[in-house]
Amino acid sequence: ILAKNLCNVEDTPELLQLVADEITDQYGLSKECGGARHPTALIAMRTIDVVERKLELVTAVSSRGDLVQAAWDRRREIVQEVAKNTREAPQELLGLAAFIKKYVHPCGDPMEADKSDFLSFCSSFGLPQKHRCVARLRNLMADFSDFLAVATLEQANSGLDVDGIMRLLELCKSMTGGKKSPAMEEASKAICDAIADQVLVFAKEMKKKDDFAVSRSEVPQVESARKCAKDVNAQIKEAILMGCETSHPALSEAKVLATELEVECKSRIALKAQIHAKLQLVRDDKEVEIAGEGGIVEVGSATRMAEGIDDAVKKSVKEGAQKVHEFIKEAEEIAKELRQRDGERKRMKARQERMAKQAADAKKGKKKKNGGEDEEDDED
């Protein structure tokens, strides 16, 4: 009886429950008659343990099969919901292959497993590979996988965005454990082509979005270019993870757009340093205008501006700008010019002070000379 129940591939939860109740009743009668330790009674106890374990397994697999069957009946609705992200994928479909693996005996027929530690055996054996409820669940999984392959391709060809396509593929991947059905293998190339095309469409949209951000502001749109490039690269990475070739023409073109955005981002960072430098130059010109002809601007002011430009350049380079970029070079030239101006002002200030001192000394000498002549007149 024990061997028959272990190997039976046609039993159901209802049948197993009947067997368990019948053996339990017979064991109870045997126990009442004093035969609890009889070898037959002991085997009956073991049989009860086996039947109860198998009842637990068959019930779990059959229940999951019923849920998957219900999902299969509304498969088209599920595809639409997952594609449009209006509802999460049904939990009963996720990890389905892993679920089957968990409930099926790993090494062939459970009857052939080691039973020397019977308690351990009763808590670990699985269903036969060909059990009806396991076969039913596997068939449903295979049908669902084939259906998703065709449905994903249809959705991709109808213009579904990359995120939607990837959600459908992720559902199929989770359900089958990453194993592709023949239908999915056949549809993979067409799906990859559709994904790559969608990535390129997305990249072009990101480029337009960045261009629009630039047109609306005079401030360098660093974050716009950085985010758009990051989003495009993320889409390319996801497409490759889904099976697209890195050399796919559409992905290559999308990568070119992403690289252009990255370069533009670095250029805009450098532009911020250049704009800051130009503002300092205008500020210094304004101070020159205020000082007027012959006036000298405060010594040290231009040097402080140059030091501010140096800090802006260092910050830009740290954020990704190239040291050799023309905007960085221009900012450095402006800082150099401001230092030269300050040097000239120092010399002019020193000359002015020197001339003032000389004039003061000359005036003092003349006064002293005049004072001596007055004393001579008094003596006369």
pLDDT digits (tens, 9 = 90+) for 63-99: 999 999 999 999 999 999 999 999 899 999 999 999 9
Q: Which two tokens stand for residue 77?
A: 């609705």
- The C-alpha torsion from 127 through 133 and 139 to 144, rounded to 10°, is -110
Residue that wins the pLDDT comparison between 181 and 350:
350
Which uninterrupted H or E stretch holds 379? helix 326-379
pLDDT score at 26: 65
CB 61 within 8 A of CB 134: yes
pLDDT score at 29: 53
pLDDT bracket for residue 367 (50, 70, 90): low
C-alpha to C-alpha distance for 345 and 28, rounded to whole angstroms: 113
CB 267 within 8 A of CB 306: no
pLDDT bracket for residue 119 (50, 70, 90): confident
pLDDT bracket for residue 103 (50, 70, 90): very high
pLDDT digits (tens, 9 = 90+) for 214-242: 999 989 999 999 999 999 999 999 889 87
pLDDT score at 124: 86
Under 8 Å CB-to-CB from 286, ≥6 apart: which residues?
Answer: none
pLDDT digits (tens, 9 = 90+) for 172-202: 889 998 887 777 777 778 888 888 988 999 9
CB 156 within 8 A of CB 195: yes
Average pLDDT of the segment spanning 269-296: 91
Report the interhelical angle of 162-176 vs 132-157 (nearest 10°): 170
pLDDT score at 375: 55
pLDDT score at 242: 79
Terminus-to-terminus CA distance in the chain, angstroms?
158
Q: Which two tokens stand for residue 31?
A: 């126990």
pLDDT score at 49: 81
Q: Is 224 exposed, middle or buried (0-12, 13-18, 19+ CB in 10 A)?
A: buried
C-alpha to C-alpha distance for 206 and 229, rounded to whole angstroms: 8
pLDDT bracket for residue 32 (50, 70, 90): low
pLDDT score at 264: 95
**DSSP structural state of residue 246:** T
pLDDT bracket for residue 16 (50, 70, 90): confident
Widest distance between CA atoms in the chain: 166
